[in-house]
Structure 1
Amino acid sequence: MLNTAIQAALRAGKILNKKFNKLAHVKYKMKSCREIVTEADLAAEKIILDLIRKKYPEHRILSEEVGEINGKFFKVEKSDYLWLIDPLDGTTNFSIKNPLFNVSIGLAYKGEMILGVIYAPCTDELFTAQKGRGSYLNGKQIKVSQKSKVRNSILLAASGRRKIDDKKMIELYSYFKLKTRNFRQFGSAALELAFVAAGRVEGMIVVGCSPWDMAAGALIIKEAGGKVTNFAGASWNIKDKNLLACGPKIHPNVLKVLRRLKIE
């Protein structure tokens, strides 16, 4: 299954990179007042779905653009396997010619993540993980940061599209921007999670996002030795909209701040 996910991510990444480098101006349509979709999203998604549906026609799929593909497509009522796909994570970045975008593919079995792949086409970085087998960047094992002090850390953040999510993020920004080495938002949640897994930054706070934004990255961080929870401190699962992912030493210190600020 990992090879299928890698193959799908690389194929999708190739078409994204081609479109990114070819187009001077990226055309897009509004999905909502704050969300856009491009031809590249749909082209990458088709590549991924076609491959997974061919290899595993009985599996369920939850993908950002088409939603959930279930029994009416596969002629089965239920499967314990669920693919969570974001064919172009960082669409706004892509649309403004910012190279921080990626393909994110995760696989859950009975609600638990067992596989994660994140591919950044512009840097040709492939992050992968399987449950119990560690995390890798282009074939080399990676580990999370072991820093423990918030004031010496770089933390990343992502928020959903609701105003309530933005209000929470503004509160977090007001605190952490002054209390850390830096507090940043790249606009590409899965890639930011991959940065945590690689130890490039100490942690990430996600508020109100969708499961396809977090699923692959959550497993990659966990397999890299990190701790991934919701804001209550319980292990993160694909139904949680909030996520805190950090190195094991700094996680409890960041969680204390979230509780103090009453961010839920």
Structure 2
Amino acid sequence: MRIPVRLDQLCEIAYLAGGVMKTYFTHFGMERVVKTDTTPLTAADTEINALVISHIRKLSTEVDIVGEEESDRTDSPWQIMCDPVDGTFPYTWGMPVATFMLGLMYRREPVMGVIYDPFTDRMYSAQKGKGAWLNMTRLKVSRVATRKDRPIVGYVSWPNDPPGACPYNVLKVCQYLEERGVTLVNICSIGYIEVAVATGEFAGTVFPGTKHHDTAPGHIIVTEAGGKVTDIFGEPLHYSDNKIAGHLMSNGHIHDLLVEAVKACN
């Protein structure tokens, strides 16, 4: 199977996108508008989305490009998924907790993923069958498995407004997990949380979002680091109809506990 783009080319695009993120980054008072789903939109989002489409098109005409803010579709089995600024809330608040996310899928299965933190110059990347990496360091998930290990689980949550925006009750899940010895952390950037699972810093993540671009890049990075990824109910994750049923990503050892928590609370 000939892959239409290389991983190093996706990383180069990520570096360019990171430069745009830093250009627009201010300590406070960043200009933004609020989209219909109540999330903020900045000039960096739209500029990076356009940059991705332009650069991918120079590399290949064989891929669909599905961006959070703009898309360029060709009905190809290959799809590029892009979140220009993941963690837009802290980004607009002047907090350097945001990433650029880019993933390549083939027939709705993740093949490559890149998550870039331009503020620390950390490039997380993976290709199917070739492992996951932080810059030049191979990534491996943790072995945290029991209550005495004090597992850390990251999550992101927001109001279910409009209906369907956040269809799963993550706060109840968090309470359930906390009662069982889990430490919960919300840093408002699912990309950051996903790579924290891949590096072994976090044991897992619970995410209620339904958009492909929030999950596909981290999916391949976590699995190539030895972790496990399912939908939020523990079933195989299907990227269909432009929506997913949330996700759970973990080191594998605490995955059953995460599934148990979700099913008990939803």
TM-score by length of 2: 0.89
Render the CA deviation track for 1:31-68: whole Å, top value 9, x for unaligned.
126211001111122222211111112210110001x3
Q: Which amino acid aligns with 1:42?
A: T
Q: Which amino acid aligns with 2:48?
A: A
Q: Quick one: structure 1 residues 10 and 182, their matched pair in 2 at CA, closer, same or farther if it must change by over 3 Å?
A: same
Equivalent residue number for residue 176 of structure 2: 175
Distance 1:58 1:105 in 2: 17
Matches within 5 A, 1:1-264: 1-21=6-26, 24-32=28-36, 34-66=38-70, 68-71=71-74, 78-150=75-147, 152-159=150-157, 162-163=160-161, 165=166, 168-239=169-240, 240-261=244-265, 263=266
Distance 1:155 1:131 in 2: 25
Distance 1:225 1:27 in 2: 40
- CA apart distance, 1:90: 0.9
Distance 1:98 1:130 in 2: 30
Q: Quick one: structure 1 residues 135 and 200, their matched pair in 2 at CA, closer, same or farther if it must change by over 3 Å?
A: same
- CA apart distance, 1:190: 1.3
Distance 1:19 1:212 in 2: 22
8 Å CA contact 2:151, 2:181 repeated in 1: yes
Equivalent residue number for residue 75 of structure 1: none
Q: Which amino acid aligns with 1:69?
A: D
Distance 1:159 1:150 in 2: 24
Q: Quick one: structure 1 residues 204 and 24, their matched pair in 2 at CA, closer, same or farther if it must change by over 3 Å?
A: closer
Q: Quick one: structure 1 residues 33 and 219, their matched pair in 2 at CA, closer, same or farther if it must change by over 3 Å?
A: closer
Q: Quick one: structure 1 residues 247 and 48, their matched pair in 2 at CA, closer, same or farther if it must change by over 3 Å?
A: same
8 Å CA contact 1:155, 1:180 repeated in 2: no
Whose helix proportion is higher, 1 or 2?
Answer: 1
Distance 1:90 1:156 in 2: 14
Instruction: Indicate the SS of the match to 2:53.
Output: helix
- CA apart distance, 1:107: 0.5
Instruction: Indicate the SS of the match to 1:114.
Output: strand
Distance 2:209 2:107 in 1: 23
Instruction: Indicate the SS of the match to 1:159.
Output: coil
- CA apart distance, 1:181: 4.1
| Number of aligned residues | 254
8 Å CA contact 1:4, 1:51 repeated in 2: no
- CA apart distance, 1:92: 1.1
* Coordinate RMSD, CA, aligned: 1.8
8 Å CA contact 1:150, 1:250 repeated in 2: no
- CA apart distance, 1:150: 4.7
User: Could you tell me the percent identity over the aligned residues?
Assistant: 27
8 Å CA contact 1:153, 1:180 repeated in 2: yes
